[in-house]
Amino acid sequence: MLVLKLVYNEDLDFIREIQELKTMLKKKNIIIGVVESIETNIHMIKIICDDECYNEKVKKIIDLYVSNILYKIVIDKYKEKEMFDFLIDTYFFLKQDEIIEVEEEIMKVLYCEEDLKNENLVYYMNKMNTVIRKIQDCLQENTEININGFITFRMKDLREDIEEIIDKVVENYMVEKEYKEFVKLLKYFVDIQESKIEEIDICIGENGNYSIRDDNGNDIFNEFMKELAECRVDTDANIEDVIISGLITNVPKKVVIHGKENCGNKEFLETISSVFGERVSYCQGCSICTLPKIKF
């Protein structure tokens, strides 16, 4: 029984992925046949299945697998023909090297690389699944698909979701860029200022609570709050902002962080490390770590 017929021009090549589908299904005791033929520049792949093995579940498995193959082809074609123009037209304020950087980030997301870790990952996955689901719907409605024609006529329907992913990646890129520039400015300020205090110890308790002490063991968090108020900065700032502000104001020669593993805000620790560099060290256990922590 013919399950699916794929027709495409010679510039596409995905027979290896289809053979992998055949191997995968064989492990599930589902036997399919793959027949490839070429007429001039037109390639055809027929996926056939024995009537005894075929059912709607098998059809859905094959459609989903092929949809993922076609998704990658759609992304490749979009990158080749449309992405650069979209970036130039929409994000005209980006420099050429920034366009190159952001394009690399976009492709990591669109290809769903294994090491991708991002707070927007769920959003990305939902959008990519929407594209794949649209492709899958088309396969379920037709047993024969001309892939080049599909890309030409269906790209408009898929483009919106792809470009929404791109918008989110660029937005995240700009936030990261601004953050790095901000950290760079803080680091410069710290480097040119004279230290007002020898050492500041940041103790993080098991519940993620903080206590801030000088090298004599005195709690100085209230001094941080007072300095923040004198600078006419919003005193409703969160605890991490208050601590970073206090560190910037006092420019300690050493910053020792106790209980790193208890911190739920990794970006907070990364900011301190980026701004203060070699001045920062992480304690592996000492008498200060066992002092009672004041809850903030």
pLDDT of residue 288: 66
Q: Which residues pair with 204 in a beta bridge?
A: 210
Q: Residue 135: CB partners within 8 Å, gap ≥ 6?
A: 67, 70, 71, 74, 154, 158
Question: Which residue, 289, 240, 286, 235, is CA-closest to 266?
Answer: 240
pLDDT of residue 11: 75
Tokens standing for residue 71: 């998704």
Q: Residue 251: CB partners within 8 Å, gap ≥ 6?
A: 190, 193, 194, 195, 196, 197
Q: What is the pLDDT along the chain (296 residues), one digit of tens a residue?
A: 888 999 988 777 788 888 898 898 888 888 889 898 888 888 899 999 888 888 888 889 999 999 999 999 999 999 999 999 999 999 999 999 999 999 999 999 999 875 666 778 889 999 999 999 999 999 988 889 999 999 888 898 999 999 999 999 999 999 999 999 999 999 999 999 999 999 999 998 888 888 899 888 898 888 888 776 665 445 456 888 889 989 999 999 999 999 888 888 888 999 999 999 999 999 877 766 655 544 44
Q: Residue 41: CB partners within 8 Å, gap ≥ 6?
A: 9, 10
pLDDT of residue 294: 47
What count of other Cβ atoms lies within 10 Å of the Cβ of residue 63?
18
Q: Which residues pair with 202 in a beta bridge?
A: 212, 257
Tokens standing for residue 45: 């792949």
Domain boundaries, the chain: 55-187, 199-290
pLDDT of residue 291: 55
pLDDT of residue 53: 80
Q: Which pTM does this prediction carry?
A: 0.80
